[in-house]
């Protein structure tokens, strides 16, 4: 419950500080870059870890690699992104664990909608380091993989994003026990796209 209150408060502060009407910011543009700060959280969905809660806060730097490509409504631009995650909290039934992560692989497909709302699909992965074992009885080093479906909202001062994200946390058999944690998370972010070549 406390994590939900923190997430709602953080979202409210972001929206109050950065929301603005009227002309939209430039969206993903080939050779452009993305800068973003984001936060997300959710609950475990499987077995003994279904009562586990995850919250994280991170920073993103992305490179838009391509002009619009693909057929029909799938037409879009490929973006490669890296996330640094200095705040990672895992609330387990046995304890609360703090950590940090680096996600060096983020592949984002930004659909080419020509509007103020840009849908996207994302696949990514990284490494999570924690102060105690996650889950309990396993290891302090885990690997993460995730997939997300989201929307970008192009505003005057910034670009907002919101996505629903499935994340798997696993030690890849570094320990004898490897139950893994599957979480479903809501993630929101605010960022800026720089203009690329035209």
CA distance 77 to 67: 6
Q: Copy the structure tokens of residue 122.
A: 């994302």
Quick one: pLDDT band at residue 114, thresholds 50, 70, 90?
Answer: confident
Which one has a higher pLDDT value, 153 or 156?
153
Distance (Å, whole) CA 114 – CA 135: 44
Residue recorded with tokens 């696993």: 170
Cα–chain center distance at 58: 8
Q: Which structural domains are found in the chain, ordered by start?
A: 2-193 (2.40.160.20)
Q: How far apart are CA 116 and CA 34, in angstroms?
A: 16
In degrees, rounded to 5, the angle at the alpha carbon of residue 27 between the alpha carbons of residues 23 and 28 is 170
As a whole number, the mean pLDDT across the chain is 87
Nearest CA to 39 out of 61, 57, 16, 18 is that of: 57
Predicted TM-score (pTM) of this structure: 0.82
25 DSSP 8-state letter? P
Residue 5 is predicted with a pLDDT of: 45
| Mean pLDDT on 87-106 | 96
Q: What share of the chain is helix, strand, coil (3-state, %, to 5)?
A: 10, 55, 35
Is pLDDT above 50 for 21? no
Predicted confidence (pLDDT) per residue in 26-65, tens digit: 678 888 899 999 999 999 997 777 889 999 999 999 999 9
The predicted pLDDT at position 130 comes to 97
């Amino acid at each position: 419950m406390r994590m939900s209150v923190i997430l709602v408060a953080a979202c409210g502060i972001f929206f109050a500080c950065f929301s603005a009407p009227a002309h939209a910011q430039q969206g993903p543009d080939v050779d452009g870059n993305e800068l973003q700060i984001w936060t997300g959280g959710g609950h475990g969905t499987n077995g003994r870890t279904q009562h586990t809660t995850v919250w994280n806060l991170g920073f993103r730097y992305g490179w838009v690699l391509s002009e619009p490509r693909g057929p029909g409504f799938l037409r879009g631009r490929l973006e490669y992104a890296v996330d640094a995650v200095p705040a990672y909290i895992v609330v387990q039934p046995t304890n609360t664990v703090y950590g940090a992560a680096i996600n060096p692989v983020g592949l984002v497909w930004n659909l080419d909608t020509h509007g103020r709302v840009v849908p996207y699909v994302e696949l990514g992965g990284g490494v999570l380091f924690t102060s105690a074992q996650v889950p309990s009885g396993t290891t302090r080093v885990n690997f993460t993989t995730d997939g997300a479906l989201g929307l970008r909202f192009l505003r005057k001062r910034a670009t907002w994003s919101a996505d629903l994200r499935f994340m798997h946390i696993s030690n890849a058999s570094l320990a004898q026990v490897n139950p893994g944690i599957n979480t479903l998370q809501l993630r929101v972010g605010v960022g800026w796209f720089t203009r690329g070549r035209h």
